[in-house]
Amino acid sequence: MQAGARPRTRDSEPERKEFSNMKHAIIETGGKQYRVTSGDVIFVEKLDAEAGATVTFDKVLAITGEGENTFGAPYIDGKTVTGTVVKQGKAKKIRVYHMKPKKGYRKTQGHRQPYTKVEIGTIG
């Protein structure tokens, strides 16, 4: 332990979620996989849905928790995860800069990736 550092006690440790008794699922959308539980808020690639609309994710890879473990090959048939669209938005701007040395070529572009904020409702 370093000089001046406080020893870690049970009270100073951050609060951790217990995932063993919570039901959670692994879903795929927009080419990415997300581990979600009921009530989670996730940012996914843009979906065609208005704010307040209900979306259904049918590409469910696994459902675990509450003594139940189900894994798909690659997806689980008949299982879905539903969620509500909170809002549509754009991420922070990134700068894309191209340059060819000794040629006088410089080009700057900006890009803001669109996203959809979804609150997960029911699993299964």
Q: Are 60 and 26 in contact (CB under 8 A)?
A: yes
One-letter identity of residue 83: G
**Looking at the predicted structure, is the pLDDT value of residue 10 above 70?**
no
pLDDT in tens, 67-123: 878 999 999 999 999 999 999 999 999 999 999 999 999 999 999 999 999 999 999
Q: How far apart are CA 121 and CA 63, in angstroms?
A: 14
Which residue shows structure tokens 């990736």?
113
Write down the pTM of the prediction.
0.75
Q: Where are the domains of the chain?
A: 24-123
What is the model's pLDDT at position 53? 95
